[in-house]
Amino acid sequence: MTKDHPVAGDRSFLSRLTGRIRHGLLAQELLDRMARAGLVLYPYYVVLEDASCAHAASLDPRIKMSPLGPQDASEIARIALREVSAEGIRALMATASCIGVFCDGQLAGYTWASLTRVPIPGGGAGQTLFDLAPDEAYLFDMYIAPQYRGLRLAGLLRGESYRALASNGRTRFYSITLAFNRSSRKFKAQLGAREVELRLQVHLRLGRLSGVDLRLKRMHESLRSPAVRRVSPVSRGRAGD
């Protein structure tokens, strides 16, 4: 390891912290640090998104949207906020689809969709909250690179994702938003999305102790999520968007 690595890490931390403060995520940063220390406390919303409010396709000739495949994994890893390998991205593509938005031929952002389940976020990532019906999809991990923000690409990308999924019979869309992520909650509200359930995951990662994922409030009676779900002691995932 060279002496440059700690400096790069410091810059990455400062960039992450600055961004989180800017977007009102300081409380979430504290919860993430607690989780890394072994205490998971993640309040989050299950969100039902409304495709009827999707942004129209862009008329800007610089902007293109396209499904992404294994050949794009390295480029996704290059712009991703979190450290992720091309191999990890290719593995995820075996169970989820990805759409990218390009500006002047460069990948500017991406979003993912699963057709199988809505997972438990945070320390319970990888475990299922509830399975999806044949007409449903779960949208997750949308990201726009910093240099392309301000071009309203997020709304365009969400709309393209709705259209692509609807063409395959998926017309009901779920996502998850961490309770302290004000920018994400505002963005989804502008799309006409509804927060249909508030949940809390609590997990003390001590030995083989299990965690628990609890429903705090339900605002949509037909949601199939359980009131209580056990969280496995071996799961060490990340939070949702």
Give the residue among 108, 109, 73, 78 at the shortest CA–CA distance from 89.
73
| pLDDT score of 7 more than 60 | no
* CB contact set of 210 (below 8 Å; sequence gap of 6+): 203, 230, 231, 232, 233
Report pTM.
0.83
Instruction: With residue 146 as reference, give the H or E element that holds it.
Output: none
**Cα dihedral angle (224, 229, 232, 238), rounded to 10 degrees?**
60
Instruction: Output DSSP code: residue 163.
Output: H
Rank 32-46, 128-142, 214-228 by mean pLDDT and report only the highest.
128-142
Structure confidence at residue 130 (pLDDT) = 96
Token pair 């923000």 in the structure block, residue:
149
| pLDDT score of 46 more than 90 | yes
String of b and e for 171-194 (b: at least 16 CB within 10 Å)?
ebbbbbbbbbbeebbebbeebebe
Structure confidence at residue 136 (pLDDT) = 97
Q: Are 239 and 42 in contact (CB under 8 A)?
A: yes
C-alpha to C-alpha distance for 71 and 108, rounded to whole angstroms? 16
Could you tell me how many residues make up the chain?
Answer: 241
C-alpha to C-alpha distance for 159 and 191, rounded to whole angstroms? 9
Average pLDDT over residues 119-145: 89
Domains in the chain (CATH in brackets) are 4-231 (3.40.630.30)
C-alpha to C-alpha distance for 171 and 48, rounded to whole angstroms? 11
| Average pLDDT for the chain | 85
